[in-house]
């Protein structure tokens, strides 16, 4: 199963883009290119407004003219010959490079090649607008201005990176940009139950959640407290967060109110995360699934909010580091293999024991990994499982996983300290049972 936009929405987006390009007469394309240059020049002129005399090579007027010059090259190329466009583009690029050459040689801490690169890019965007790619030129021009305006933020963010962070980015890039496009998008393997592209797309999605959680934890740090860190960690594994906080409850490190609020936050994030995952891998069953776990999401969220307010007055709280960098390549591959095995096993059990055998396998898998169980459920034969039945099956691993966490809290934190911490888990389990019984 591949994830794509609805055909109607895709058609509307295409028609919108064609309409924009169709309206761009040569005169309008010149105006559009000048506007793009004006937008970029506005940022560049403001950035170098205090530059010393002769230090600012290009400002708002120059960039507007560069966009117009690129558009003129495109108009002439369309009307006469593509070579006019090539010659004009080369001439403008050489002029830009020569103008910036002396500036780049100055011993100035604020000297960079950005202005020269952006100048040539502005010419190219003007050319794009003139040859019929107005929509693309608009998007690229806006993105360029946004990136240029975020200079301080990007540099500050870069200074916070470690070698481990760079490795994490490279690993996620390999998962998304290298592996995914190479995988076939068709059913294959035993029972033709496996779609390699779909399996890896889900791995990208799940690891993307943990990637976002990792960066958010670096952004907020520990000053925001255990609750924020717990919610961030739950985007990767709410079970791991609950286990860690339960151990701290037993040892007495940190305020109990804060630790309880952290467990409540992780408990609330897990069903919410599964809703997002369901929307990606099984959108047809999202309504039935939401009907069954929606009350649990609402109750857990409200309880976590109340617990967070109560914990804000906890003077004994200590920051706990629960989020971690999840990006190792082989665990991602192991997750894909686990999902594939569960999918094939579910089809084999259906073939041998019928539909309810696969339902038991998926529910049992939730004891270990909710994401894997939901992905496996989404790959059950659609002719045998309608949206309502699939929504029921998807809720089973969520219920099983919360039961496991309830046992963990009471065991690791101790009965006395664990009873209060287990309240959100008990509420979620009761809501899930109610959703399974009365949800359809």
Do residues 255 and 316 make contact, with C-beta atoms less than 8 angstroms apart? yes
| CA pair distance 256, 248, nearest whole angstrom | 9
| pTM score | 0.52
CA torsion 180→186→187→190, rounded to 10°?
-60
pLDDT score recorded for residue 431: 92
Per run of 10 residues, the mean pLDDT along the chain (length 440 residues) is: 43 48 72 88 76 60 87 87 84 81 60 77 89 85 86 75 76 80 82 77 66 61 60 72 77 72 87 84 82 90 87 56 54 67 70 66 65 72 71 83 85 81 91 82
Q: What is the pLDDT of residue 209?
A: 56
CA 284 to chain centre: 22
The C-alpha atoms of residue 356 and residue 361 are separated, in whole angstroms, by 9
Count CB neighbours of 399 within 10 A: 22
Sign for the CA dihedral angle at 189, 194, 198, 203 comes to negative
CB 315 within 8 A of CB 255: yes
Burial class of 398 by CB neighbour count within 10 A (0 to 12, 13 to 18, 19+): buried
pLDDT of residue 13: 45
Distances (CA, A) of 415 to 154, 224, 326, 427: 48, 29, 32, 17
Which residues 6+ apart lie within 8 Å of 339 measured at CB?
199, 202, 372, 375, 376
Q: What pLDDT, on a 0 to 100 scale, did the predictor assign at position 318?
A: 47
* Number of other CB atoms surrounding residue 415 within 10 Å: 9
Query: Are 374 and 286 in contact, with CB atoms under 8 Å apart?
Result: no
Task: Return the structure tokens found at 324.
Answer: 């971690």
The domain ranges of the chain are: 7-158, 163-438
């Amino acid at each position: 199963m591949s994830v794509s936009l609805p055909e109607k929405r895709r058609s509307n987006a295409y028609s919108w883009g064609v309409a924009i390009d169709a309206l761009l007469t040569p005169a309008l394309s010149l105006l559009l290119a000048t506007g793009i240059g004006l937008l970029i020049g506005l940022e560049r002129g403001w950035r170098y407004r205090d530059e010393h005399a002769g230090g600012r090579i290009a400002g708002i007027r120059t960039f507007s003219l560069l966009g117009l010059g690129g558009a003129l090259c495109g108009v002439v190329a369309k009307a006469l010959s593509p070579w006019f466009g090539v010659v004009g583009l080369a001439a403008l690029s050489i002029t830009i490079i020569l103008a910036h050459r002396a500036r780049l040689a100055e011993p100035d801490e604020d000297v960079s090649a950005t202005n020269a690169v952006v100048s040539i890019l502005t010419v190219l965007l003007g050319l794009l607008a003139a040859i019929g790619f107005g929509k693309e030129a608009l998007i690229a021009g806006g993105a360029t201005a946004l990136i240029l305006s975020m200079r301080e933020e990007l540099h500050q963010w870069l200074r916070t990176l470690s070698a481990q962070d760079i490795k994490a980015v490279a690993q996620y890039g390999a998962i998304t940009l290298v592996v995914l496009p190479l995988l076939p998008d068709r059913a294959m393997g035993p029972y033709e139950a496996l779609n390699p592209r779909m399996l890896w797309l889900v791995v990208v999605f799940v690891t993307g959640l943990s990637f976002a959680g990792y960066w958010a934890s670096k952004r907020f740090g520990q000053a925001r407290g255990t609750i924020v860190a717990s919610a961030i960690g739950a985007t990767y594994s709410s079970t791991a967060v609950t286990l860690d906080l339960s151990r701290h409850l037993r040892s007495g490190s940190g305020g109990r109110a804060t630790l309880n609020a952290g467990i409540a936050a992780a408990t609330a994030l897990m069903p919410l995360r599964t809703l997002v995952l369901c929307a990606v891998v099984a959108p047809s069953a999202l309504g039935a699934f939401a009907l069954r776990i929606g009350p649990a999401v609402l109750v857990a969220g409200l309880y976590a909010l109340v617990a967070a307010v109560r914990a804000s007055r906890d003077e004994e709280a200590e920051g706990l580091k629960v989020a971690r960098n999840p990006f190792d390549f082989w665990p991602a591959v192991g997750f894909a293999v686990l999902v594939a095995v569960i999918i094939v096993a579910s089809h084999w059990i259906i073939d041998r024991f019928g539909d309810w055998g696969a339902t038991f396998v998926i529910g049992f898998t939730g004891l270990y990994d909710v994401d894997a169980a939901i992905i496996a459920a989404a790959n059950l034969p659609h002719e045998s499982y309608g949206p309502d039945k699939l929504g029921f099956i998807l809720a089973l691993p969520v219920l099983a996983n919360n039961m496991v966490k309830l046992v963990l809290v009471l065991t690791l934190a101790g009965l006395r300290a664990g009873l209060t911490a287990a309240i959100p888990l008990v509420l979620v389990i009761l809501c899930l049972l109610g959703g399974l019984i009365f949800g359809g």
